[in-house]
Amino acid sequence: MVFLSVFMASLSRLRVIAPSLRSFSRSPVPSLLQSRTFTMTTCDEFKQAPHKLLVIPGPIEVSDEVLFANAHPAVSHVAPDFIKGCHREVVFTKDAQPFLISGSGTLGWDQVSANLVESGENALVLHSGYFGDSFSDCLQTYGANVDLVKAELGTAVSQSVIEEKLKAKKYKVLTFTHVDTSTGVLSDAKAIAETVKRVSPDTLIVADCVCSVGSEEIRFDDWGLDIVLTASQKGLGTPPGLSIVVASQRAMKVFESRKSPVTSYYASWKKWLPIMKAYEAGTPAYFATPPVNLINAYLASLRQITRASPSLEERFRLHREASQRVKDAASELGLKQIALDPAFAANGMTTVYYPDGLGAADILPRFAQRGLVIAGGLLGSIKDKYFRIGHMGVTVVDSDRGDVDNIVRVLKESITEARSQKA
């Protein structure tokens, strides 16, 4: 809770410089100031423009408060109070090392590949969709020997296969995609961590949680994870542009004892670690200019996510319930999902095959006509055969918005209309 209170303190400090001057424009204006307008926007007054509801599996809908924080006036990038807290609460860790770097979620793979794996070391990549291929590609770029284990489409790699692989070879790291955004397949992070700790305790456990932080339960310390890498634009409810990595102290020791130099400059923890420590200590530091506004927006979103009510546990429950409603609606329409079993289905998104004889052109525009933006397929082999709906963040947690009702209604209307027009 200490970090949460530091967020709060730093945010309230930012907030006090935005007093309501709404009535200013109605007051007599001194002649010297006549050339400037003093209509002022405060957070309470700021409402984002009307727009189509964005329910793809990230980026997601952003709250007014977070967007307003993204429009904060310019501040210095080395000012001691612009960031003092970080990203521990949401993944339940006390002492892991956070890295906040300007970049997309992809940059998290570079951070892992360049800092934790040395050329010629072995990496085991569990594959449950598109992002397993990409992480493997990234690790190989930095010289790792990668073994890629592909699960059957719609499932995650089983614990027995993981055990078999770990017994057959020594791996520096094992990586898995907690929720693969291409398939909507959820991996059992807790079970994977247990298997690795039992069979190969020295192997670092790397969780790609880009599409799961904030929408799925992640117990970093309790489960013994070494890396959670994520990004700002999904369950964290912030615009994209922030790569967020949390590393265990064990991972930091592995990093500090590496024999060869780090082979990236921008993603090098040698450069970033002193900066992250300085940020938390409240002292100015510089390696590269951080995305000040985006960090401000991220802290505003974290404040919403980690507040007392709804609690994080309640948030996870709300995601599970919303997910169940969307998945039930798809089933009632006779639509087949990619996840072969509910245990493999993510709670922040749903992937559904198009009905027989129908495709993207029949379904996606019908959602758009009704004000909803959803996503087509991403996984190469079945790219044109399915669509994806995201249900994360404010869309799920703020029931007054009615977003989940809309998703369910528009899903039914669009499928029904498309079927009747084809018939």
Beta strand segments in 343-421, E = 349-353, 372-373, 375-376, 386-390
Nearer to a copy of itself, 39 or 369 (CB): 39
- In the list 378, 379, 408, 415, the residue contacting a copy of itself (rule: CB under 8 A) is 378
User: Could you write out the three-class secondary structure of 223-242?
Assistant: HCCCEEEEECCCCCCCCCCE
| Phi and psi angles of residue 341, each rounded to the nearest 5 degrees, phi first | -150, 145
Stretch that binds a copy of itself, among 42-50, 85-93, 160-168, 410-418 (CB under 8 A): 42-50
Helix or strand run (H / E) with residue 148: strand 145-150
Q: 171 and 192 in contact (C-beta within 8 Å)?
A: no
Shortest Cβ 352–a copy of itself spacing (Å): 18
Shortest Cβ 117–a copy of itself spacing (Å): 12
Q: Please, what is the angle between helix 312-332 and helix 403-422, to 10°?
A: 20
User: What string marks each residue from 155 to 194 as x (binds a copy of itself by CB under 8 A) or -?
Assistant: ----------------------------------------
Interface with a copy of itself, residue 286, by CB under 8 A: yes
Interface with a copy of itself, residue 214, by CB under 8 A: no
Considering only residues 218 to 247 of the shown chain, the ones binding a copy of itself according to CB under 8 A are: 231, 233, 239-241
DSSP3 helix / strand / coil % (the chain, rounded to 5): 45, 15, 40
Nearer to a copy of itself, 71 or 168 (CB): 71
DSSP helix/strand/coil, 102: strand
Calculate the alpha carbon distances from 184 to 244, 257, 379 in Å: 21, 37, 11
Calculate the CA 184 to chain-centre distance: 14
Interface with a copy of itself, residue 145, by CB under 8 A: no
Interface with a copy of itself, residue 259, by CB under 8 A: no
Shortest Cβ 271–a copy of itself spacing (Å): 9
Shortest Cβ 62–a copy of itself spacing (Å): 5
Q: Regarding beta strands 173-177 and 145-150, do their DSSP bridges make them parallel or antiparallel, or are they unpaired? A: unpaired
Residues of each annotated binding site for substrate? 388
Stretch that binds a copy of itself, among 56-64, 167-175, 187-195, 403-411 (CB under 8 A): 56-64
Residues of each annotated binding site? 388
CA distance 140 to 124: 11
- In the list 12, 45, 164, 421, the residue contacting a copy of itself (rule: CB under 8 A) is 45
Interface with a copy of itself, residue 405, by CB under 8 A: no
Stretch that binds a copy of itself, among 36-44, 85-93, 194-202, 312-320 (CB under 8 A): 36-44
Interface with a copy of itself, residue 255, by CB under 8 A: no
The token duo for 375 is: 């996503």
